[in-house]
Chains A and B, each alone.
Chain A
Amino acid sequence: MIKNKKINTLVFMAFLLGIIIALQVKSFNGNNGLVTLKSIMEIENQIELEKNDIQNLNKLIYQRKQELMNYETELEDSGSILNSLSENRKSLKMAAGVIALNGKGIKIELRDGDRELKEGENPNNIIVHDQDVLHIVNDLKIAGAEAISINGQRLSSISEIKCSGPTITINGRTYGQPFIIEAIGPVEDLIQITTGIGSYSYLLTTIYGIDVRVYEEDDIKIPAFKLNGDLQYLGEGD
């Protein structure tokens, strides 16, 4: 009797285990009850992007309504929309960077390092590269720089920075050292991001020995970006 009972229990347990394993295996089959966290994360990312888009669309719609209202008021008042249109053109020119600006900001001077090379050291280490300039420019934008120029050339969205050893080329113009980056924006933040310990330019100075000097300036003039002729390829979308 006792032995029989034991066997019964064992059979029952084995049966249970079998069912559990079967359930477990079945549930790994994706569409059935469980999904991976990764796919959830992907959906969440997409949701965030859509939310961002919607927010931006709402802002745009608001702006357009204002614009339309401006036109309509002017049309009623004076019978033409010329004034609003030239206002519109001016703000567009500001956004494209084709208007000269001034304001408070900082000036950065970059020179190749003048220290002696250590034995076997790559001379590239103490030379300023376009990557370095790109990185500094990006840092300045993060800190809120509103306008940036390099050796007197305004950086626009289509400006290139070519830099190899002794010269730098911006907007098709070539300049010698020192490379001078000027930026208008919140001075404290700009100084912090260019001189703070751990910042990229701090790294350039301390590790690579590149000569980086930062000055606070009360009046920085940033010239307008000059677009040569018209846009040839870029046309209007829908």
Chain B
Amino acid sequence: MMKIGKEKILFLIFSFIIGLTLTIQLRTINEFTGGIASSQKSRQLQGDLKTLREKKTELDRELQALEGTIKELKNSEIQEDAIEQELKKEIEKYELLSGYKEGRGPGIVVRFQEQASDRDSSILIYNYELLLSIINKLNASGAEGIAINEERYVISTEFRLSGDRLFINGNPVYPPFEIRAIGNPDTLESGLNLRYGIIWEMRKNYNINSSIEKREDVVLPRYSKKIEYKYATPVESGR
């Protein structure tokens, strides 16, 4: 009797330990990966993503064709006289300034690397005023166009925190963040890299490392919504 009892107890203890180890193992894996899910769903989502991307390329092509037609029409109809040439020039200028046209030129690319664990989103989302500050500094250094990830910074651009997501121009923007600016690369860079400036402050107070790269060719996406005025009316009619 005594002997069997002892064996049973030992067996019980070992099973208990194995059970505990397994649970701990699973838990740790959950900690690291943020949970697991079946790969079937992932495959399905990847399929969706692919379809969406194909559709996007198709639409892109359609848009480009349309814009080509418009451009041709304009070119063929605009006369050589000074007034019409001026009109054309102004249209091109304000298309770029307003952000309705894709922008291209020399400038810098600023990337932010956060030390925080990659699982939790980002310090920058909750402290988006740092991004605002950088944009402000770039403007002070004479930037002519700025974009954050795929969002062009236009006159109405707002940063809005909603839950744990950051919306720019009403579209969600996810880390890692990248700010691209067009202007004189040297001036833009020194505006940010100034001693005890914003980059230094971000490293010291938020543990965010930034890399600044000067480039001959920076591309800015266009603003794809319409800037509308419902409350404001023009004072003088434009020339």
Interface residues of A (CB under 8 A from B): 17, 21, 24, 28, 31-41, 43-54, 56-61, 63-65, 67-68, 71-72, 75, 80-82, 85-86, 88-90, 92-105, 130-131, 134-135, 138, 141-142, 146-147, 155-162, 184-186, 221-222, 227, 230-238
Contact = CB atoms under 8 A, between A and B. Distances in A.
Given A24-B22, A31-B39, A141-B158, 6 more contacts: A45-B174, A56-B225, A85-B91, A134-B133, A157-B97, A186-B231
B66 interface: yes
Contact of B45 (A36, A44, A75, A235): A44
B84 A88 contact: no
Contacts of A50: 49, 52-53, 56
Given A36-B35, A89-B238, A64 B70 contact: yes
Contact of A130 (B36, B133, B183): B133
Nearest to A68: B70
B6 interface: no
Contacts of B157: 141, 157
Contacts of B211: none
A53 B146 contact: no
B70 A157 contact: no
A233 B36 contact: no
B62 interface: yes
Contacts of B52: 47, 50-51, 54
Nearest to A231: B144
Contacts of A227: 93, 97
B90 interface: yes
B62 A131 contact: no
A36 B87 contact: no
Contact of A234 (B56, B90, B119, B182): B182
Contacts of B228: 146
A33 B231 contact: no
B225 A59 contact: yes
24 contacts: A33-B38, A37-B33, A40-B41, A40-B45, A50-B52, A54-B56, A59-B226, A68-B66, A71-B74, A92-B95, A95-B94, A96-B97, A99-B235, A103-B233, A138-B132, A147-B229, A156-B155, A158-B97, A227-B93, A231-B97, A233-B105, A234-B97, A235-B104, A235-B105
B205 interface: no
Bin the interface of chain B by size.
35 or more
A235 B103 contact: yes
A61 B96 contact: no
B230 interface: yes
Contacts of A47: 45, 48-49, 52
Nearest to A54: B56
A98 to B, nearest CB: 7
B69 interface: yes
For the complex of A and B, the 8 pairs showing the least CB-CB separation, nearest first, are A237-B102, A56-B224, A141-B158, A160-B140, A95-B98, A92-B94, A36-B33, A234-B144
Interface string B23-47: 0000001000111111101100110
A184 B155 CA distance: 13
Interface string B151-170: 00111111110000000000
Contact of A86 (B64, B87, B224): B87
Contact of A236 (B103, B143, B184): B103
Contacts of B178: none
Nearest to A41: B34
B115 interface: no
A232 B144 CA distance: 8
Contacts of A64: 63, 66-67, 70
B70 A233 contact: no
B236 interface: yes
B60 to A, nearest CB: 7
B210 to A, nearest CB: 18
Nearest to B188: A233
B82 interface: no
Given A57-B59, A64-B63, A101-B235, A95 B105 contact: no
Nearest to B36: A34
Contact of B46 (A43, A101, A141, A237): A43
Contacts of B222: 237
A146 B94 contact: no
Given A38-B34, A95-B94, A233 B132 contact: no
B37 A35 contact: yes
